[in-house]
């Protein structure tokens, strides 16, 4: 690849493989100058009254809603999600702005600790400075805004290194911030390659890192941040296990599980991926589950009647096909799907696929399948289901389906995950902390926990 190509990022529509636009990459030689400007903006921002921050978040929500069609279309064109889901994503970003505008001030207000020794004890939440957001393509707006919004409220600035295949979305976020009245350089989008993230993390003006992406990339991010003693929040991969107990409402469980598995064309870290179903209802569940998968319409993601669009890149479809093929070779049963219409290297589509009789040792059990593929696992007891659910390097989300609320709570309490849903599927929600354990990462986003992650929690005692 020549130097001219190295200096550019191309946006490719995964639906038809057509180039959308070419962008000039950020020159790392300018990094120090840009971060100096970001730092100056943050120094002023941290001293603003909380009411000023609230007004910015309220205005951000207004701009997002005004530009919903434009932003959603951009996301659909750059990474292939359906336009319907892209609009919902933009709306969710606006809702998060509203939530933190209402509740953020209380989350960062000083706390007075009662004492009987004539001392005044204060816990305060002070901004760290510049937060580097290294974000993925699957939710190109939501992933950024769930970092950006609490960071702004806390008094921080944000620098974004977005995924290389969504440069338009990255720059659009900056334009939204500016239109909402954010000070120039309080948010800055830097179009750089993944390999350039290290230089951003190592820069002395960057105080902390928020990363969402693969476990392997997360390890590298954490290692670099750790060498420089910088706070790091990681939301990594998942192979979420959903337990369907023998007393579950099967129709409801099927509906919720199918929705979760196929959300965002199956490309969601917190999507249900492994379904541990009691032997007594396994046959009925598998039949209804596969029937629902067969009804899914794949096609142009811009059309309202399309259920499943392409994966974000052709190589992702190839990787998914290899995982399915290896699982079948090792004994998994192909219940439906699994056959790509085209084996072309430029084809990013993969059909909704259900694998039955999946066991440990198969890619469908051990690895994250990032696409519309479900793994059905037969279990004979709650104990076996819990053991197999926890038999994973991941620990992001989980689910339990049962008509017995007490039993469901007891099972849910034993699942090793950062998030769990009973008779529903896991969704990120500004009201609740979000994150994982084990190889799914550490730290929390959202709620007051996420807001305080990138603050100096300072104790002051006054006598």
1: confidence class by pLDDT, cuts 50, 70, 90: very low
At what angle are helices 405-413 and 382-390 packed, to 10 degrees?
30
pLDDT at 227: 98
Average pLDDT of 171-184?
A: 98
pLDDT at 115: 86
114 or 355, higher pLDDT:
355
Task: Choose the weakest-confidence range: 3-7, 34-38, 156-160, 167-171.
Answer: 3-7
Length of the chain: 463
* Annotation says 235 is catalytic: yes
The yes-or-no verdict on residue 68 having pLDDT over 60 is yes
pLDDT at 144: 98
Task: Choose the weakest-confidence range: 108-117, 135-144, 370-379.
Answer: 108-117
Distances (CA, A) of 168 to 20, 122, 149, 190: 9, 44, 20, 11
Do residues 153 and 181 touch, judged by C-beta distance below 8 A?
no
Average pLDDT of 39-44?
A: 98
pLDDT at 59: 98
Do residues 24 and 7 touch, judged by C-beta distance below 8 A?
yes
Catalytically annotated residue among 78, 89, 235, 445 = 235
pLDDT at 342: 75
pLDDT tens-digit map of 50-62:
999 999 999 999 9
Which residues share a beta bridge with 23?
9
Task: Give CA–CA dist 319/317, Å, rounded.
Answer: 5
Average pLDDT of 245-254?
A: 98
The yes-or-no verdict on residue 2 having pLDDT over 90 is no
pLDDT at 332: 98
The yes-or-no verdict on residue 31 having pLDDT over 60 is yes
What's the number of CA atoms in the CB half-sphere (13 Å) around residue 422?
14
* Annotation says 177 is catalytic: no
pLDDT tens-digit map of 73-110:
999 999 999 999 999 999 999 999 999 999 999 999 99
Task: Give CA–CA dist 281/244, Å, rounded.
Answer: 9
pLDDT tens-digit map of 266-318:
999 999 999 999 999 999 999 999 999 999 999 999 999 999 999 999 999 99
pLDDT at 397: 98
3: confidence class by pLDDT, cuts 50, 70, 90: very low
pLDDT at 344: 72
pLDDT tens-digit map of 188-223:
999 999 889 999 999 999 999 999 999 999 999 999
pLDDT at 217: 96
Rg (CA), the chain: 23
Average pLDDT of 384-399?
A: 98
The yes-or-no verdict on residue 26 having pLDDT over 80 is yes
Phi, psi (rounded to 5 degrees) for 460: -125, 130
Equal CATH topology for 3-236+438-462 and 240-422: no
- CA torsion, points 371, 263, 197, 419, in degrees to nearest 10? -110
Q: Domain ranges in the chain?
A: 3-236+438-462, 240-422
Which architecture does CATH list for 240-422?
3-Layer(aba) Sandwich (3.40)
Distances (CA, A) of 182 to 32, 38, 67, 178: 21, 12, 17, 5
pLDDT at 57: 98
Task: Give CA–CA dist 153/108, Å, rounded.
Answer: 8
Average pLDDT of 336-351?
A: 87
Indicate the DSSP class of residue 87: H
- In CATH terms, 3-236+438-462 corresponds, of 3.40.1130.10, 3.40.605.10, 3.90.1150.10, 3.60.21.10, to 3.40.605.10
Q: Name the residue among 398, 392, 384, 385 with its Cα closest to residue 438.
A: 392
Percentage of the chain beyond pLDDT 70 is 99
Task: For the chain, give the mean pLDDT.
Answer: 96
Percentage of the chain beyond pLDDT 90 is 95
């Amino acid at each position: 690849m020549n130097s001219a190509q190295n200096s550019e990022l191309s946006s490719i529509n995964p639906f038809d493989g057509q180039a959308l636009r070419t962008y000039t990459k950020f020159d790392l030689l300018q990094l120090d100058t840009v971060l100096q400007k970001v730092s100056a903006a943050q120094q002023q921002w941290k001293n603003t009254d909380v009411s000023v921050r609230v007004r910015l978040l309220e205005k951000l929500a207004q701009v997002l809603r005004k530009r919903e069609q434009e932003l959603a279309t951009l996301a659909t064109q750059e990474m292939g999600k359906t336009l319907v889901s892209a609009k919902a994503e933009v709306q969710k970003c606006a809702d998060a702005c509203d939530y933190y505008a209402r509740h953020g001030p209380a989350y960062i207000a000083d706390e007075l600790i009662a004492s009987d020794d004539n001392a005044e004890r204060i816990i305060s939440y002070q901004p760290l400075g510049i937060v580097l957001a290294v974000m993925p393509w699957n939710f190109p707006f939501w992933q950024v805004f769930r970092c950006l919004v609490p960071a702004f409220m806390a008094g921080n600035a944000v620098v974004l290194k977005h995924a290389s295949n969504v440069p338009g979305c990255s720059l659009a976020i900056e334009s939204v911030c500016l239109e909402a009245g954010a000070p120039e350089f309080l948010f800055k989008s830097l179009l750089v390659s993944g390999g350039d993230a290290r230089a951003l993390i190592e820069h002395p003006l960057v105080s902390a890192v928020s990363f969402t992406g693969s476990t392997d990339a997360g390890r590298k991010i954490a290692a670099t941040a750790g060498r420089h003693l910088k706070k790091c929040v990681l939301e990594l991969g998942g192979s979420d296990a959903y337990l369907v107990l023998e007393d579950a409402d099967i129709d409801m469980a099927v509906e919720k599980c199918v929705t979760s598995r196929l959300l965002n064309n199956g490309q969601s870290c917190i999507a249900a991926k492994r379904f541990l179903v009691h032997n007594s209802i396994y046959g009925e569940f598998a039949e209804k589950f596969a029937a629902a998968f067969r009804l899914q319409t794949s096609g142009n993601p811009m059309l309202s009647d399309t259920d499943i669009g392409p994966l974000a890149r052709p190589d992702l479809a190839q990787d998914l096909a290899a995982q399915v093929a290896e699982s079948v070779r090792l004994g998994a049963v192909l219940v439906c799907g699994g056959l790509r219409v085209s084996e072309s290297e430029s084809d990013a589509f993969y059909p909704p696929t259900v694998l039955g009789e999946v066991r440990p040792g198969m890619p469908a059990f051990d690895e994250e399948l990032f696409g519309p593929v479900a793994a059905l696992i037969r279990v004979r007891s709650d104990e076996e289901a819990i053991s197999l659910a926890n038999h994973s390097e991941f620990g992001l989300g989980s689910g339990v389906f049962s008509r017995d609320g007490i039993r469901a709570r007891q099972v849910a309490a034993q699942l090793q995950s950062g998030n769990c849903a009973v008779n529903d599927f896991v969704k990120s929600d500004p009201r609740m902390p979000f994150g994982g354990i084990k190889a799914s990462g550490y730290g929390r986003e959202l709620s007051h926990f996420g807001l305080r992650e990138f603050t100096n929690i300072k104790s002051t005692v006054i006598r």
